[in-house]
Amino acid sequence: MSESIRAHNWLLPLMLALMMVPLAPSLFDSPAASSADSPTTAVMLPPEAVDWSAGARSGATSWLREAADEDGDTGRWTSAVSASDGQIWVAYYNAASRDLKAAHWNGWSWSVESVYAFGDVGRFAEIDLDSQGNPRIACFDVTSAVLRISRYDGNMWSTSTVAPGENTGEDNPYAGVGRIGFAIDDTDSEWYSFYVEVTDTVSGYDYNLSFAFWDSNDGNWAYGTIDDGYGERPDTDYWSDIGQFSSMSIGSDGRPRVAYDSEIWQGRDNLDQTVTRWPLYALRHASFDGAGWSITDVHINETDGPVFGYRPARWLDLAIDGNGVEYSAYQYTSSLDSVRLATSAGGSWRHSKINNVSGNLGDYVLLAVDQTGDIHVTY
């Protein structure tokens, strides 16, 4: 992103995402609790809304809802971004046709088109804008088991493979659920974070978080590993599960930051002697310094025993404000019952609870920091 919070900047894309995401199954297995303090009545746009200016729409004091695309089972893995002139781009997966689609609000009306329609493509879509205000969409191609990048030049879309010849999703490690990271930096170069399978056997499994970089100056690709089990016990380096969910943003220094989930194996002296190792689940953060990645545990499973079902983070989203403060909203999965926010200013992370219910809360969480510094979270 050429602006530090461009891909997660305005509240309006989140409103749109909130409207489209409920079309996706499995978002909630049971209805979220409601009360008199949280009304559920929808505010629908009147017919004359098609003539409203973008400013009138974004200045509304109530939630505005409208359908951008009603073509069957559509709107899964929604990602949205606003341009400085109020135009909105939304990338999403159409499950009915198994295509990557994009919806565009030009300030007066919506237009919808298929971006890429070869095979089963479009899952985990992530969108960002280049310096010309044109959208680019990263997504996963299930048929070919690779990441794809689609770029719009102002007239048409072109789609190609991310880091050709490298492992960007062999054997489909996501198994239908996850999130990839994607961001455009100040030079219009592209950064990606994604989940790769290294080993999956009866004796162990090893899934790492990798990255790809596309240089806009020469069109060349770079590829490498962000986290292959940082901090794990040497004798358990074949047991790690890192990065099924990742989110990427560009820092004030023009370099990428990544939030992601992780599982490694460690030993603890205060465990029963019959327990030689236990899983360390964590929300992690990685920052690139130009030569390598610096990794920090933001929130780990707070236990002294082998609680196998407790993961502090699953669904998550990362955003950076204009002052360089980083925020990560995430699904706290002790019992899938809460959403939390982690904040870093000056390199020190702290986290707090946003919301808590009886269960199944936080899927598809999205985070935005607006121009005034206010934080907005949908889930």
pLDDT value for 46: 56
Exposed / middle / buried, residue 36 (Cβ in 10 Å: 0-12, 13-18, 19+):
exposed
Which H/E stretch holds residue 12? helix 11-20
pLDDT band at 26 (very low <50, low <70, confident <90, very high): very low
pLDDT value for 207: 92
Q: How far is residue 27 from each of residues 302, 310, 365, 377, measured CA to CA in Å?
A: 27, 20, 10, 16
- 3-state class of 22 per DSSP? helix
pLDDT value for 306: 46
Above 90 in pLDDT, residue 138? yes
pLDDT value for 272: 46
Cα(318)–Cα(300) distance, integer angstroms: 17
Reported as a single tens digit per residue, the pLDDT across 171-195 is 999 988 999 999 999 999 999 999 9
pLDDT value for 37: 39
Backbone φ and ψ of 168, nearest 5°: -115, 15
**pLDDT (mean) for 126-155:** 97
Largest alpha-carbon pair distance within the chain?
Answer: 71
**pLDDT (mean) for 142-148:** 97
pLDDT band at 118 (very low <50, low <70, confident <90, very high): very high
Cα(174)–Cα(152) distance, integer angstroms: 27
The mean predicted confidence, pLDDT, of the chain is: 81
Above 50 in pLDDT, residue 316? yes
For 325, other C-beta atoms within 10 Å of its C-beta total: 17
pLDDT band at 200 (very low <50, low <70, confident <90, very high): low
Q: Which residues contact 96 (CB under 8 A, 6 or more apart)?
A: 71, 72, 73, 74
Please choose, from the candidates 328, 187, 311, 207, the residue with its C-alpha nearest in 3D space to the C-alpha of residue 257: 328
115 and 100 Cβ atoms separated by less than 8 Å: yes
Reported as a single tens digit per residue, the pLDDT across 29-55 is 333 333 333 333 344 555 555 544 444
pLDDT value for 74: 84
Please choose, from the candidates 55, 83, 94, the residue with its C-alpha nearest in 3D space to the C-alpha of residue 152: 83
Structural tokens at position 205: 């499994």
Above 90 in pLDDT, residue 251? yes
pLDDT band at 7 (very low <50, low <70, confident <90, very high): very low
Q: DSSP per residue over 122-142, as a string?
A: EEEEEEEE-TTS-EEEEEEET
Please choose, from the candidates 99, 75, 101, the residue with its C-alpha nearest in 3D space to the C-alpha of residue 23: 75
For 359, other C-beta atoms within 10 Å of its C-beta total: 12
More confident residue, 90 or 86: 90
Residue with tokens 């341009």: 83
pLDDT value for 202: 55
Q: Domains (ranges, CATH) in the chain? A: 115-378 (2.120.10.10)
pLDDT value for 174: 92
**pLDDT (mean) for 338-362:** 86
Q: How far is residue 297 from each of residues 61, 258, 260, 300, 354, measured CA to CA in Å?
A: 39, 12, 10, 7, 20
Q: How far is residue 273 from each of residues 263, 267, 277, 279, 303, measured CA to CA in Å?
A: 22, 10, 10, 16, 16
More confident residue, 334 or 303: 334
pLDDT value for 355: 86
**pLDDT (mean) for 347-363:** 84
Q: Beta partners for 356?
A: 338
pLDDT band at 269 (very low <50, low <70, confident <90, very high): very low
Above 80 in pLDDT, residue 223? yes
pLDDT value for 203: 56
More confident residue, 304 or 358: 358
> Which range among 85-89, 229-233, 297-301, 307-311 shows the weakest confidence by mean pLDDT?
307-311
Q: Beta partners for 342?
A: 328, 351
**pLDDT (mean) for 129-154:** 97
pLDDT band at 60 (very low <50, low <70, confident <90, very high): low
Cα(266)–Cα(230) distance, integer angstroms: 11
